[in-house]
Amino acid sequence: MLPDKLLARLTTRHQAGSMRELKVISNLIDFASNDYLGYARHKYDIACISNGATGSRLLTGQSILHQQVEEKVAHFHEAESALLFNSGYDANLGLISSVALRGDLILYDELVHASIRDAINLSYARALKFRHNDLGHLSILLEKFSDGDDRNVYIITESVFSMDGDTPNLVALVELAQTVGNAHIILDEAHATGVIGNKGQGAAQAYDLNQDIFARVVTFSKSLGCHGAAVLGGFDLTQYLVNYARSFIYTTALPQHALHTILAAYDQLQQDEKSVQQLQSLIAQFNKMIVQNGLRLRFRESVTPIQLCIIKGNERTRRASQQLAEAGFDVRPILSPTVPAGHERLRICLHTFNTPQQCEELLQKLANIIKEL
DSSP code, position 292: H
CA distance 229 to 12: 35
Domain ranges of the chain: 64-271, 273-372
64-271 has CATH 3.50.30.50 classification: no
**pLDDT tens per residue, range 320-347:** 999 999 999 999 999 998 888 899 999 9
273-372 has CATH 3.40.190.10 classification: no
Of 262, 237, 194, 276, the closest CA to residue 98 belongs to 237
Q: What is the pLDDT of residue 87?
A: 97
pLDDT at 49: 61
Q: Output the pLDDT for position 181.
A: 87
Alpha-carbon distance of 284 to 278, in angstroms, equals 10
pLDDT (0 to 100) of residue 148: 79
Mean pLDDT for the stretch of residues 100-123: 97
Q: Inform me whether the pLDDT recorded for 51 exceeds 90.
A: no
Nearest CA-CA partner of 286 in 345, 352, 223:
352
% of the chain residues with pLDDT over 70 = 98
Of 93, 90, 99, the residue nearest 121 (C-alpha): 93
107 near 130, Cβ under 8 Å? Answer: yes
- Span 256-275, mean pLDDT? 92
pLDDT value, residue 103: 95
Q: What is the pLDDT of residue 50?
A: 67
Residue type, 305: P
Q: CA 40, 43, 46, 47: dihedral to nearest 10 degrees?
A: 120
pLDDT of residue 74: 98
Q: Does 47 score more than 70 pLDDT?
A: no
Nearest to 143 by CA among 180, 103, 168: 180
CA separation for the pair 373, 363 (Å, rounded): 15
For 66-180, where are the E strands, in sequence order? 81-85, 105-109, 126-130, 153-158
Instruction: Supply the pLDDT for residue 318.
Output: 94
Cα distances (Å, whole numbers) of residue 7 to 12, 14, 335, 347: 9, 11, 21, 30
Q: What is the mean pLDDT of residues 197-214?
A: 94
Q: How confident is the model at residue 178 (pLDDT cuts 50, 70, 90)?
A: very high
Count CA within 13 A, CB hemisphere, residue 305. Answer: 31
* Higher per-residue confidence, 15 vs 219: 219
pLDDT, tens digit, 9 for 90 and up, residues 76-99:
999 999 999 999 999 999 999 999
Q: What is the pLDDT of residues 193-205, one digit of tens each?
A: 999 988 999 999 9
pLDDT at 127: 98
pTM of the model: 0.93
Tens digits of residue pLDDT in 289-328 = 999 999 999 998 899 999 999 998 999 999 999 999 999 9
Question: CA-to-CA distance for 101 and 293, rounded, in angstroms?
Answer: 51
Whether residue 116 has pLDDT greater than 90: yes
For the stretch 128-175, pLDDT in tens is 999 999 999 999 999 999 887 789 999 999 999 999 999 999 999 999
Cα separation, 160 vs 201, whole angstroms: 13
Q: What is the mean pLDDT of the chain?
A: 94
Q: What distance lies between CA 321 and its chain's CA centroid? A: 22
> Residue 48: its pLDDT value, please?
62
